[in-house]
Amino acid sequence: MKKTENSWGPLTKRKISWRRVVAILIGSFLCGASLNLFVLPFHMLSGGVSGIAIILYYLLGTPVGLAIGIMNVPLLYAAYRWLSKDFFYSTLAGIIVFMAAVDVTGFLQQHSPTKDIFLASLYGGVFGGLGLGMVFRAGASTGGTDVVGMIAKKRYGMEIGTAAFAVNVVVVACGAFLFGLEIGMYTLISMFVGSTVVDKVIEGFNRRKVLLIISQEREQIAKRILEELGRGATFLQARGAYTSESKDVLMVVISRAQIAHVKRFVDEADQGAFFMVIDTAEVIGRGFKRPGAL
């Protein structure tokens, strides 16, 4: 049977594994459960489509999950038309699980682990951000402002974060006007914590350091790094802008805990060495994380 453009073919090209599917399911479920555990019991809000659905729930009693699903229909159509089919099908799965999780876990509103709204705003952001980060890392989304942001970037050249932030600000401002300024302030705390956790999950918690070392004793330093730390090293060719002299720059990627060892190697070999430490969010490849891993 010949596959059409709308088949699952484009999705399988990204080698959808069970790990990706499980990440989308668990992440979407976490997002839904965190709303019922930490957001709704304290009359707080959320950003984007979820925020609008929550406002309708407070005002009219409309089921949050159902409202999220209905409002995402036109956004899904737009994603299908203007974005990749991979993103569309992955996001469709994320939205379905998310909206189902919100309504299925509604009973959790009676079992919030805290009665402190500040703690609720913090942990709502943590668990919501953790779930959303898992979904993003798997190459999907839970709809809403994520879709709006991607379309705005593709069609109008806007930054994804700018478009999403604009929508979220409007929703939170409306909620603060309807339910009080304090609610809006706690919501912003939760959103800030959530966005920070999302970044951590996407980038990875195991951050590394890139060291660039210019030294006459680079061979000796590289040997100690290889033998004592078990890390590889690379020599990069460079030329001084002032002297026009060619020289090798030693580059090595290590953990934060290994920085002190390398500093000692450099200090013992060449106290006049030039040394830079650069943050890197994630390292993929031999000796670190394998390509394609979540």
Say which residues have a Cβ less than 8 Å from residue 192's Cβ, sequence separation at least 6: 125
Residues 93 and 195 in one domain: yes
Residues 89 and 151 in one domain: yes
Say which residues have a Cβ less than 8 Å from residue 159's Cβ, sequence separation at least 6: 149, 153
Residue among 154, 258, 251, 187 at smallest CA distance from 44:
187
How far from each other are the two terminal CA atoms of the chain, in whole angstroms?
32
Does residue 29 contact residue 96 with C-beta atoms inside 8 Å?
no
Q: Is residue 287 part of a domain?
A: no
Q: What is the pLDDT of residues 177-236, one digit of tens each?
A: 989 999 999 999 998 898 888 877 876 655 678 889 998 888 999 998 888 888 888 898
The rounded distance, in Å, linking the Cα atoms of 92 and 75 is 10
In the prediction, which pLDDT does 2 show?
43
Residue among 139, 159, 138, 141 at smallest CA distance from 149:
159
Q: Kindly state the tokens that stand for 202.
A: 């996407």
| Domain limits for position 90 | 9-203
Q: Which of 203, 230, 265 is the last residue of a domain?
A: 203
Residues 144 and 269 in one domain: no
Pairing of the two strands 234-239 and 246-255: antiparallel
Using DSSP, state whether 196 is helix, strand or coil.
helix
In the prediction, which pLDDT does 71 show?
92
Residues 166 and 265 in one domain: no
Give the number of other CB atoms < 10 A from CB of residue 46.
Answer: 28
Q: What is the mean pLDDT of residues 242-247?
A: 82
Q: Which of 139, 168, 203 is the last residue of a domain?
A: 203
Residues 153 and 226 in one domain: no
Model confidence band, residue 1 (pLDDT cutoffs 50, 70, 90): very low
Q: What is the mean pLDDT of residues 91-106?
A: 89
pTM of full prediction above 0.75: no
Residues 95 and 158 in one domain: yes
Q: Which residues pair with 250 in a beta bridge?
A: 213, 235
The rounded distance, in Å, linking the Cα atoms of 137 and 23 is 8
Residues 261 and 195 in one domain: no
Q: Is residue 93 part of a domain?
A: yes
Residues 187 and 217 in one domain: no
With a cut of 60, say whether residue 12 has pLDDT above it.
no
In the prediction, which pLDDT does 79 show?
82
Q: What is the pLDDT of residues 113-153, one digit of tens each?
A: 999 999 999 999 999 989 988 888 777 778 887 777 777 76
Residues 197 and 219 in one domain: no
Q: Is residue 56 part of a domain?
A: yes
Q: Which of 174, 203, 232 is the last residue of a domain?
A: 203
Model confidence band, residue 282 (pLDDT cutoffs 50, 70, 90): low
| CA distances from residue 11 to 88, 129, 137, 235 in whole angstroms, order as listed | 9, 25, 15, 39
| CA distances from residue 188 to 47, 118, 164 in whole angstroms, order as listed | 9, 11, 14
Q: Kindly state the tokens that stand for 74.
A: 């036109």
CATH assignment at residue 264: 3.30.70.120
Task: Please state the domain count of the chain.
Answer: 2
Residues 80 and 184 in one domain: yes
With a cut of 80, say whether residue 52 has pLDDT above it.
yes
Residues 74 and 128 in one domain: yes
Say which residues have a Cβ less than 8 Å from residue 32's Cβ, sequence separation at least 6: 65, 97, 98, 99, 100, 101, 102, 103, 104, 105, 131
Q: Is residue 220 part of a domain?
A: yes
Residues 225 and 111 in one domain: no
Q: Is residue 199 part of a domain?
A: yes
| CA distances from residue 233 to 17, 134, 266 in whole angstroms, order as listed | 33, 32, 14
With a cut of 60, say whether residue 255 has pLDDT above it.
yes
For residues 6, 7, 11, 17, the Cα torsion angle rounded to the nearest 10 degrees is 160
